Amino acid sequence: MRILILGGGFAGLEAAIKLKKYKYEVTLISDRDYMFIYPVSIWIPVGKRSFEDTQLKLSDLAKRHDFKVIIDKITKIEAQKNVIHTATKSFEFDYLFIALGMGKYPIPGLEFTHSICGKPEESTIIKKKIENLIAKGSGHITVGFGGNPKDPTATTVRGGPAFELLFNISVMLKEKGLQDKFKLTFYAPMAEPGKRMGNTAFTKMDSFFKRYKVHTHFGKSIKEFTQNAILFADDILMNTDLNLFISGGDGLKIIKESDLPQNETGFIEINEMCRVEGHKNIYAIGDAAAIIDHPWAAKQGHVAEVMADIATYNFNNKIKHKGKRKSYWEKLHIICVMDSGDGAAFVMRTAKKEIIIPLPIVGHWLKKAWGWYYKKSKMKRMFRIPGM
């Protein structure tokens, strides 16, 4: 049986591990030779974590979990023919798990911004840019995030990392005695950024902005970015020395050019079992999939792992002719430890409740501990806690 996994991020790696536990031979194809741990990459720009320590080598993971890994660029997916093509070879499959992530919604001048949720190496570029501004002694740093107007679910917004990076920069500047020399501005095109975390969490954001001396600019769509400014829809021009922006998610070009079923945004349409609509042998998990529109749903790393667990469970039961199936719909919720550099806040939103728990000082170290735990548990050097 030829089982392929496309992508070596949260969803792809978890799918490979779970399929091996079910005793299947698996090949994972990725264009990077490492898995990047995005939730803790927020500390790279402020010098509290190294780029190397924020990755896990896929070759080491493959050896530890006994799956096969191929480092190559995927260039084409032919779902109807059960074939995928890479830069060097073509592969036929019997079953396919697509975990390729998502792209950025294009805004004119987006190349003048830098994203902590973009390519991993952008985190080191941001670090260098901040160091240059600190050497200069002053500056205006703008941090923002946006959505995708074509996204019918609004699940592709990545706001949490923007808040975390912003607050960590503020703490770093304070520690260096430079907080009064810099202006920090948070901006977003939506009128109530962060509302998807729930009303409870959203109402507390103003206190965070005040504490970390952050100016705000909400509710104006972005027309264009330039090298040193942001142009909003009302023709207001905001000058900036460093613009850090997380664009809304968009379907990848390789998906849009494939014969896979897609929604308006270019994400793969799936059913509640994570199986691609119209295909009995293809599953889509993580950011590449179009997830259901629930107010408490968002594309996060833990959701990607949940989808991988659901997809592989359903696949195994199908192969073993077991009738039971699981739905990822029942597992959707927003959860994060929103780090601020000197503390954190635990945020959770489910269908039934909204929670935000301030965690001064200890929260920061809890998130650092999670980063350590994630690496150790993925390498089978310690026990795995379900859901973490």
Are the C-beta atoms of 325 and 317 separated by less than 8 Å?
Answer: yes
Task: Looking at the structure, tell me whether residues 157 and 61 fall in a common domain.
Answer: no
Inform me whether the pLDDT recorded for 204 exceeds 90. no
Task: Looking at the structure, tell me whether residues 235 and 265 fall in a common domain.
Answer: no
> Is 364 a domain residue?
no
Task: Looking at the structure, tell me whether residues 257 and 125 fall in a common domain.
Answer: no
387: left (phi over 0), alpha (psi -120 to 50) or beta: left
Mean pLDDT (whole number) for 318-332: 93
Task: Looking at the structure, tell me whether residues 227 and 259 fall in a common domain.
Answer: no
> Is 347 a domain residue?
no
Which of 233, 249, 265 is the last residue in one of the domains? 249
Task: Looking at the structure, tell me whether residues 230 and 114 fall in a common domain.
Answer: yes
Task: Looking at the structure, tell me whether residues 121 and 94 fall in a common domain.
Answer: no
Domain count, the chain: 2
> Is 140 a domain residue?
yes
- Listed in sequence order, the DSSP H helices in the chain are 10-21, 58-65, 122-136, 160-175, 199-203, 205-211, 253-256, 301-319, 362-378
Task: Looking at the structure, tell me whether residues 70 and 19 fall in a common domain.
Answer: yes
Inform me whether the pLDDT recorded for 382 exceeds 90. no
CA distance 174 to 179: 5
> Is 88 a domain residue?
yes
> Is 193 a domain residue?
yes
**End-to-end alpha carbon distance in the chain:** 30
Instruction: Return the amino acid letter for 223.
Output: K
Which of 317, 332, 347 is the last residue in one of the domains? 332
- pLDDT band of residue 325 (cuts 50, 70, 90) is very high
Which of 185, 216, 249 is the last residue in one of the domains? 249
Instruction: Return the amino acid letter for 270.
Output: I
Output the pLDDT for position 102: 95
Q: Which domain holds residue 129?
A: 105-249
> Is 382 a domain residue?
no
Output the pLDDT for position 179: 95
- Residue 151 or 363, more confident: 363
> Is 367 a domain residue?
no
> Is 386 a domain residue?
no
Task: Looking at the structure, tell me whether residues 179 and 228 fall in a common domain.
Answer: yes
Q: What angle do CA 37, 294, 144 make, to 5 degrees?
A: 50
Task: Looking at the structure, tell me whether residues 128 and 236 fall in a common domain.
Answer: yes
pLDDT (tens digit, 9 = 90+) per residue, 205-244?
999 999 999 999 999 999 999 999 999 998 999 999 999 9
pLDDT (tens digit, 9 = 90+) per residue, 152-197?
677 888 999 999 999 999 999 999 999 999 999 999 999 988 888 8
Taking alpha carbons only, the member of 246, 306, 230 closest to residue 104 is: 246
Task: Looking at the structure, tell me whether residues 58 and 70 fall in a common domain.
Answer: yes
User: For the domain that residue 113 is a member of, what is the CATH number?
Assistant: 3.50.50.60
pLDDT (tens digit, 9 = 90+) per residue, 266-298?
999 999 999 999 999 999 999 999 998 787 788
Output the pLDDT for position 388: 61
pLDDT (tens digit, 9 = 90+) per residue, 1-50?
999 999 999 999 999 999 999 999 999 999 999 999 999 999 999 999 99
CA distances 284 to 243, 298, 388, Å, are 33, 16, 21
Task: Looking at the structure, tell me whether residues 218 and 144 fall in a common domain.
Answer: yes
Task: Looking at the structure, tell me whether residues 276 and 182 fall in a common domain.
Answer: no
